[in-house]
Amino acid sequence: MIFLTAIDKIAMNKFDIEAYLDGSLDAEAREDFEQEMRQNPAFAQQVEAQRKVTELLRKQMLREQVSSALANRPVAKRPYRWVVLAALLILLAGYFLFLRKRNNPTPPIPPPTNWNSDTLQTAPQEPTQNIVQDSLEIKNEKPPKPSPIAENNAADLPLPAYPSPNVRGQGADNAAWKAMLDKVWYTQLPPKAAKFKEPFPAVVASLSKRDFENAFVQLETLEGTSPDNDTLRLLKGYCLLEMGEGADALRYFSKLEESNPNWKAWLEWHRGLSLLSSGEAKKAILDFKKIANAPDHPFRRQARKALNVLE
Amino acid sequence: MTFSISKLLKAEKDLLADKKGFYKALGRAEPVAIRALAGKLAYDVRQATQHAGLTAEDAEELLNDAVVITITNIQNQAFQFADFSPAAYANGVVKKLIANRLRTKKPRQEALEDNFFASDFDPEVYLSNKELESIMGKLLSSLGENCQQLLRLKYFDNLRDKEVVEQKLAPYTTTTSLKSKRSQCLNKLIEIAKSAGLLDSFR
């Protein structure tokens, strides 16, 4: 092993190894660089080490990318296997039903008297908070449990609970974009470990009811007195995001994790959605890739789904 | 080719129909292109590995390796675009990899591996470097998230420093500070790799 002297270190600072390996040095600088390598074996060894490490890095990152892309690949199998399997399942199910009916004969059920075709249609999902409040009147109905998206471990991610905000303009392109956003719009309030003290609970209540206009007015009022408050910036960013103002949301989300590290994962995901909402799909993909490649990221599955949908 | 492409997504189908577009998308390591290539190879790989007495796990590993090698060779121009699909090249890679596996069990089988495609690729060098890459992945994860992200933006996403700063993809406001931090990360990685003796075995 060759040990680096102070002179070698000066050479390394003077010469841009990265630029040399990239091939971005001009002819003269390149000639100087190569001359230094000929004269200084320790420097030449350092250049070679950097070349090897960056090559290994590139390959390893490519390998990760391939594994990640193939993780959700639909497996192509011969169709007849599926047909046979499906037929077997139908036969088994039929046999099971036959046995059950023979062992437990039940009287025919009369049709419901107030049945109408609307009951077959999927009712639009109401915001959870509304359902909780309405449950005071509809006493026999249990309010659905709010399930934190990020902690859902089911094999298939359910569709987002709420649609994405409306996209400006009309036409097939916008409709397609909106449909795509609807598939990945896994917004979440509040972020894990966020605590809202006065005067924010009222704003959070409005946001939870998805009354974004009202929340926006409340936030604007509060912003007049404390514009740099982190909680305010987080809530306003979220509010703007849900109102379809991704670019403005990004401004409010910026640098919040520096003073609130617990919000980092939440911010990364919602920043990605903000970019997507503002039409910056390429940048959003970069953010989603980063999340998808982070093994313990709470929004990893959402990011993977977003990447699948976007690509 | 007995594999039906009916199960592939439309984007993958479109890509497969456009050989040049497919080649370029693979060069950029786009997930859709990766999936399209793997989908196109999957059936043949399974058949060939079964025929060679290899396991399903071997087939999966071979498939991943063939995709990685094909992309690498596109990126370093060892495989240049010609009027055949990259899938044909990847098929050649698969055959070479299988032949290499079999060589460890049986005497050399010329018939399996002498094909026109992928003639420039040496499976033994690839497999030896593959282990080093895996170790490098572990060393990289020991550096912390910021370093990983900086190195990824440069060496995988191939973004320029100016783009990284402008798009706020890293917490640095100037290209100088970004480059300086990345250089620190890389030097740290080089030192760890050197002390682990990793670079001596790299071919």
Q: Are residues A302 and A201 in the same domain?
A: yes
Q: Tell which of A71, A92, A127 closes a domain.
A: A71
Question: How far is the first Cα of chain A from the last one, in angstroms, to the nearest whole number?
Answer: 47
Q: Are residues A52 and A84 in the same domain?
A: no
Q: Tell which of A71, A91, A126 closes a domain.
A: A71
Residues 6+ apart with CB under 8 A from A276: A181, A184, A246, A284, A306, A310
At position B185, the amino acid (one-letter code) is C
61-90 in chain A: CB under 8 A from chain B: 61-70, 73-76, 79
Q: What is the pTM of this model?
A: 0.50
Q: Are residues A215 and A265 in the same domain?
A: yes
> Taking 90 as the threshold, does the pLDDT of residue A246 lie above it?
no
Q: Are residues B191 and B111 in the same domain?
A: no
Closest listed residue to residue B89, CA positions, set B109, B68, B108: B68
Q: Are residues B135 and B112 in the same domain?
A: no
User: Which CATH number is B152's domain given?
Assistant: 1.10.10
Which chain A residue has its CA at the smallest distance from B11's CA?
A: A311
Residue whose structure tokens are 């006065």? A198
| Span of A40-49, A278-287, B151-160 with lowest mean pLDDT | A278-287
Q: Are residues B19 and B41 in the same domain?
A: yes
B6-22 mean pLDDT: 75
Q: From CA B148, how far away is CA B152, in angstroms rounded?
A: 6
Task: Tell whether A194 is covered by a domain.
Answer: yes
Q: Is the Cβ of B67 closer than 8 Å to some Cβ of chain A?
A: yes
pLDDT (0 to 100) of residue A8 = 58
Task: Tell whether A162 is covered by a domain.
Answer: no
Q: Are residues B135 and B114 in the same domain?
A: no
Q: Are residues A189 and A265 in the same domain?
A: yes
Task: Tell whether A226 is covered by a domain.
Answer: yes
The nearest CA of chain B is from the CA of A57 a distance in Å of 7
B169 contacts in chain A (CB < 8 Å): 283, 286
Task: Tell whether B203 is covered by a domain.
Answer: no
pLDDT (0 to 100) of residue A152 = 44
Q: Are residues A36 and A97 in the same domain?
A: no
The nearest CA of chain A is from the CA of B39 a distance in Å of 7
pLDDT in tens, A66-117: 988 887 665 545 556 667 778 888 888 888 787 776 666 544 443 333 333 3
A129-141 mean pLDDT: 35
Does the beta-carbon distance from B7 to A59 stay under 8 Å?
A: no
Task: Tell whether B202 is covered by a domain.
Answer: no
Token pair for A133: 């409040």
Q: Are residues A276 and A264 in the same domain?
A: yes
Q: Is the Cβ of A296 closer than 8 Å to some Cβ of chain B?
A: no
Predicted confidence band of residue B165 (pLDDT cuts 50, 70, 90): very high
Burial B134-156 (b: 16+ CB within 10 A, else e): eebbebbeebeeebbbbbbbbbb
pLDDT in tens, A296-311: 888 888 888 888 888 7
pLDDT (0 to 100) of residue B164 = 92
Q: Are residues B29 and B61 in the same domain?
A: yes
Task: Tell whether A195 is covered by a domain.
Answer: yes
Q: Are residues A229 and A205 in the same domain?
A: yes
Q: Tell which of B121, B141, B167 closes a domain.
A: B121
Task: Tell whether B86 is covered by a domain.
Answer: yes
User: Which CATH number is A227's domain given?
Assistant: 1.25.40.10
> Taking 50 as the threshold, does the pLDDT of residue A130 lie above it?
no
Task: Tell whether B167 is covered by a domain.
Answer: yes
pLDDT (0 to 100) of residue A12 = 60
Task: Tell whether A192 is covered by a domain.
Answer: yes
pLDDT (0 to 100) of residue A119 = 33
Residues 6+ apart with CB under 8 A from B183: A18
Residue whose structure tokens are 């495989």? B79
Q: Are residues B109 and B153 in the same domain?
A: no
| Span of A125-139, A264-278, B20-34 with lowest mean pLDDT | A125-139
Does the beta-carbon distance from A68 to B72 stay under 8 Å?
A: no
Predicted confidence band of residue A133 (pLDDT cuts 50, 70, 90): very low
B60-64 mean pLDDT: 90
Predicted confidence band of residue A144 (pLDDT cuts 50, 70, 90): very low
Does the beta-carbon distance from B190 to A66 stay under 8 Å?
A: no
Which chain A residue has its CA at the smallest distance from B28's CA?
A: A62
Q: Are residues B165 and B68 in the same domain?
A: no
Residue whose structure tokens are 């479109």? B14
Task: Tell whether A161 is covered by a domain.
Answer: no
Which chain A residue has its CA at the smallest distance from B197's CA?
A: A1
Question: Mean pLDDT, chain A, as a whole number?
Answer: 74
Q: What percent of chain A has pLDDT over 70?
A: 71
Q: From CA A291, how far away is CA A272, in angstroms rounded?
A: 9
Q: Is the Cβ of A290 closer than 8 Å to some Cβ of chain B?
A: yes
A158-186 mean pLDDT: 77
Residue A51 domain boundaries: 6-71
pLDDT (0 to 100) of residue A216 = 80
pLDDT (0 to 100) of residue A132 = 33
Residue B136 domain boundaries: 126-195
Q: From CA A53, how far away is CA B106, in angstroms rounded?
A: 35
Q: From CA B52, how far away is CA B125, in angstroms rounded?
A: 22
Q: Nearest by CB to B68, from A55, A62, A307: name it.
A: A62
Q: Nearest by CB to B133, from A59, A68, A294: name it.
A: A59
Exposed / middle / buried, residue A268 (Cβ in 10 Å: 0-12, 13-18, 19+): buried
Q: Are residues B141 and B104 in the same domain?
A: no
pLDDT (0 to 100) of residue A98 = 78
Q: Is the Cβ of A60 closer than 8 Å to some Cβ of chain B?
A: yes
Q: Are residues A65 and A82 in the same domain?
A: no
Q: Are residues A79 and A31 in the same domain?
A: no
Task: Tell whether B84 is covered by a domain.
Answer: yes
Task: Tell whether A263 is covered by a domain.
Answer: yes
Closest listed residue to residue A150, CA positions, set A297, A308, A271: A297
Q: Are residues A90 and A36 in the same domain?
A: no
Q: Are residues B12 and B72 in the same domain?
A: yes
Q: Best interface-test mutation with A: which of B152, B172, B178, B188 has the largest number of A CBs within 10 A?
A: B152
Angle between helix axes B145-155 and A41-71 (nearest 10 degrees) is 90
Which chain B residue has its CA at the smallest distance from A56's CA?
A: B133
B80-107 mean pLDDT: 80
Q: Are residues A92 and A199 in the same domain?
A: no
pLDDT (0 to 100) of residue A167 = 64
Does the beta-carbon distance from A50 to B167 stay under 8 Å?
A: no
Angle between helix axes A172-184 and A264-277 (nearest 10 degrees) is 170
Q: What ipTM was estimated for this complex? A: 0.83
123-162 in chain A: CB under 8 A from chain B: none
Q: Is the Cβ of A49 closer than 8 Å to some Cβ of chain B?
A: yes
Tally the domains of chain B: 2
A230-258 mean pLDDT: 85
> Taking 60 as the threshold, does the pLDDT of residue A149 lie above it?
no
Q: Is the Cβ of B199 closer than 8 Å to some Cβ of chain A?
A: yes
Q: From CA B197, how far away is CA B131, in angstroms rounded?
A: 13
> Taking 70 as the threshold, does the pLDDT of residue B117 lie above it?
no
Does the beta-carbon distance from A311 to B136 stay under 8 Å?
A: no
> Taking 70 as the threshold, does the pLDDT of residue A2 lie above it?
no
Q: Are residues B181 and B111 in the same domain?
A: no
pLDDT (0 to 100) of residue A9 = 58
> Taking 90 as the threshold, does the pLDDT of residue B181 lie above it?
yes
Task: Tell whether B75 is covered by a domain.
Answer: yes
Does the beta-carbon distance from B194 to A49 stay under 8 Å?
A: yes
Q: Are residues A224 and A296 in the same domain?
A: yes
At position A177, the amino acid (one-letter code) is W
Tally the domains of chain A: 3
Task: Tell whether B66 is covered by a domain.
Answer: yes
The nearest CA of chain A is from the CA of B107 a distance in Å of 30
Question: Mean pLDDT, chain B, as a whole number?
Answer: 82
| Span of A19-28, A47-56, A122-131 with lowest mean pLDDT | A122-131
pLDDT (0 to 100) of residue A78 = 52
B3-31 mean pLDDT: 77
> Taking 70 as the threshold, does the pLDDT of residue A156 lie above it?
no
Does the beta-carbon distance from B64 to A66 stay under 8 Å?
A: yes
| Range with the largest mean pLDDT of A128-137, B36-45, B76-85 | B36-45
Q: Is the Cβ of B202 closer than 8 Å to some Cβ of chain A?
A: yes
pLDDT in tens, A187-218: 887 776 667 788 888 888 888 888 887 788 78
Q: Are residues B132 and B187 in the same domain?
A: yes
Q: Best interface-test mutation with B: which of A3, A17, A62, A290 has the largest number of B CBs within 10 A?
A: A62
Does the beta-carbon distance from B11 to A311 stay under 8 Å?
A: yes
Q: From CA A273, how far away is CA A279, in angstroms rounded?
A: 10
> Taking 60 as the threshold, does the pLDDT of residue B48 lie above it?
yes
Does the beta-carbon distance from A62 to B132 stay under 8 Å?
A: no
Residues 6+ apart with CB under 8 A from A163: A182, A185
pLDDT (0 to 100) of residue A146 = 42
Q: Tell which of B121, B139, B160 closes a domain.
A: B121
Closest listed residue to residue B185, CA positions, set B132, B148, B156: B148
Task: Tell whether A46 is covered by a domain.
Answer: yes
Task: Tell whether B50 is covered by a domain.
Answer: yes
Between residues A234 and A222, which one has the greater pLDDT?
A234
Q: What percent of chain B has pLDDT over 90?
A: 26
Q: Are residues B113 and B13 in the same domain?
A: yes
pLDDT (0 to 100) of residue A141 = 41
Q: Is the Cβ of B42 closer than 8 Å to some Cβ of chain A?
A: yes
Closest listed residue to residue A192, CA positions, set A134, A262, A271: A262
> Taking 80 as the threshold, does the pLDDT of residue B146 lie above it?
yes
A150-172 mean pLDDT: 64
